[in-house]
């Protein structure tokens, strides 16, 4: 039995509320159980310098966790003068994941910045950030299309992510903190709506895993992806 009482292949309740930030071109508050992340998208007409003259756009991301997102207070990274290695790794993952679902030629020479701020953490914050970040990106792109700033839709497919792991010898879908902190194997799976893999992060936290076990976790991730895409579609209408 899982600490949460869920079935092995059961996702936490998912909700995505859009339009939560007045000034952002796209915004949402995603809740995956007790993990809550505020995601916003900002359209900037100037692309990064290395893309000027190429006709290509860019999607980038920043990630942060509020001081009391966890059970103890964390100092703001700005107060420490630098980002942690974990923060940098996560925001690069978010950016890579969202760019994989974009036709950068259709986006044109502009940048869309996705900001993901964790309000409350209970495991799977990077996965929630990717899933909610895609919704914010979708809403921002809709504004570009409506304004006639771009002629074709640059978004190729849905992008979402879910964690899976082996806890007490059992493969589980969508780990919360109690499970993630004790998992023998921990993995994050980023997929498109069509089921194509974008990135897989897996590590043996306390026990090695077999190829068969990795396949079982991927099966769970694909099943969870269906729930995430359904939530994304409901959010954007």
What residues form the annotated binding site for phosphate?
A: 86, 124-126
Strand arrangement of the beta sheet that strand 197-204 belongs to: 170-173, 159-167, 185-192, 197-204
Check residue 34 and give left, alpha or beta (phi > 0: left; psi -120 to 50: alpha). Answer: alpha
Q: Annotated binding residues, as ranges? A: 86, 124-126
Q: Which helix (H) or strand (E) holds 96?
A: helix 85-99
Could you give the CA distance from residue 59 to residue 186 in angstroms, rounded to a whole number? 27
Could you give the CA distance from residue 79 to residue 196 in angstroms, rounded to a whole number? 40
């Amino acid at each position: 039995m899982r600490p949460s009482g869920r079935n092995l292949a059961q996702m936490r309740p998912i909700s995505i509320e859009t339009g939560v930030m007045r000034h952002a071109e796209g915004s949402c508050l995603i809740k995956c159980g007790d993990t809550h992340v505020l995601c916003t998208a900002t359209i900037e007409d100037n692309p990064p310098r290395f893309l000027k003259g190429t006709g290509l756009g860019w999607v980038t991301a920043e990630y942060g966790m509020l001081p009391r997102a966890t059970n103890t207070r964390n100092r703001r990274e700005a107060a420490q003068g630098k980002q942690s290695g974990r923060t940098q790794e996560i925001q690069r993952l978010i950016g890579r994941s969202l760019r994989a679902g974009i036709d950068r030629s259709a986006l044109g020479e502009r940048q869309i910045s996705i900001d993901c701020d964790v309000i409350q953490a209970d495991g799977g914050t990077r996965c929630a950030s990717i899933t909610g970040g895609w919704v914010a990106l979708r809403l921002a792109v809709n504004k570009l299309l409506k304004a006639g700033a771009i002629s074709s839709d640059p978004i190729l497919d849905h992008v979402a992510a879910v964690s899976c792991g082996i806890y007490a010898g059992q493969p589980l879908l969508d780990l919360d903190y109690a499970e993630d902190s004790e998992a023998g194997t921990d993995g994050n799976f980023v997929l498109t709506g069509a089921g194509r893999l974008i990135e897989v992060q897996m590590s043996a936290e306390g026990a090695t895993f077999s190829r068969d076990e990795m396949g079982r976790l991927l099966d769970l991730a694909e099943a969870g992806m269906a729930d995430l895409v359904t939530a994304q579609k409901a959010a954007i209408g």
